[in-house]
Amino acid sequence: MSQQNVKFDAVLFDCDGVLVDSEPITQGVLRDMLEEAGWAMTHEECMRRFVGKMVRQERALIESRTGQPLTDDWMAAFYERRNQRLRAELQAIDGALAAVQAAHAHAAGRIACASGADRLKVEFQIDMAGMRPYFETRIFSGHEMPRSKPAPDVYLAAAAHLNAAPTRCLVVEDTPTGVTAGVAAGAEVWAYCPLPAAANLLREAGAARLFRHMGEIAAALGSLPGSQPARTGLR
């Protein structure tokens, strides 16, 4: 049940697709490299298959389609090409900074980023988006957990670090995989859903509220009991 009139003790953000518009870039590199390895697909198909998932989790599928092993060298090349494109092209999601600022004010600084991606990627994306002053070191990677999303481990670790009961946390996500992880942790999950076609899947995964724009999440947080005016330009 949505806690629309309840103050959250902590707010936990996913990164890719919530804070930064990285998925089209990442999936574009993945699509190109899979085609080079023998598996051709459209960009839309690649997005549908892989968004919200770790590439290594799809090892069996990739190896069956390419006929080649998914080696550490291949993954290293993928990370290098992905990071080069992200550093050249990455943009923050419109309204995401305002949502982070509102969450920081609402929860008195008890916010974290809990991503399924590798730490290097998450940290440099948050830095590029100008959000590091709000998160500082409160960044958690699914690569460092026993299980990544859709398991709840990364959200449970973030909540524990903030000394917040998971049931008193708000999670902000954008994929069914991530929503499932937040719900499994016991948190309330709000979903950023710019495309109406994704709404049903996000609701089925357990999202309590859907928002078309990240600025709407900022406004919703600001209207909750106990919220303070958002501070900008933290140093």
- Residues 202-233 have pLDDT tens digits of 999 999 999 999 999 999 999 997 666 666 65
Sign, CA dihedral 200-153-93-58, equals negative
- The pLDDT of residue 235 is 47
Q: Where are the beta strands (DSSP E) in 77-168?
A: 111-115, 139-141
Question: Who wins on pLDDT, 63 or 47?
Answer: 63
Q: What is the pLDDT of residues 19-36, one digit of tens each?
A: 999 889 988 999 999 999
Asked if the model's pLDDT at residue 2 lies above 60, the reply is: no
pLDDT (average), residues 111-140: 95
- Residues 85 and 122 grouped into a single domain: no
Between residues 206 and 3, the one the model is more confident about: 206
pLDDT for 5 equals 64
Q: How far apart are CA 174 and CA 24, in angstroms?
A: 14
pLDDT at position 232: 64
Determine, yes or no, domain membership for 202: yes
Average pLDDT for residues 84-113, to the nearest whole number?
96
What is the rounded distance in angstroms from the CA atom of residue 188 to the CA atom of residue 135?
A: 20
- The answer on 107 and 35 residing in a single domain is no
> Is the pLDDT at 87 greater than 60, yes or no?
yes
Please report whether residue 2 resides in a domain: no
Predicted local distance difference test score (pLDDT) of residue 3: 54
Residue 235 lies in a domain: no
Does residue 3 fall inside a structural domain?
no
Task: Give the burial class of 219: count Cβ atoms within 10 A of its Cβ; 0-12 exposed, 13-18 middle, 19 or more buried.
Answer: middle
Range of the domain at 69: 23-89
For the chain, what is the mean pLDDT? 92
- Please, which pLDDT band fits residue 9 given cuts at 50, 70 and 90? very high
What distances in angstroms separate CA 16 from CA 24, 115, 123, one per listed residue?
A: 10, 8, 11
CATH code for the domain in which residue 54 is found:
1.10.150
Residues 184 and 122 in one domain: yes
Segment 131-143 shows an average pLDDT of: 96
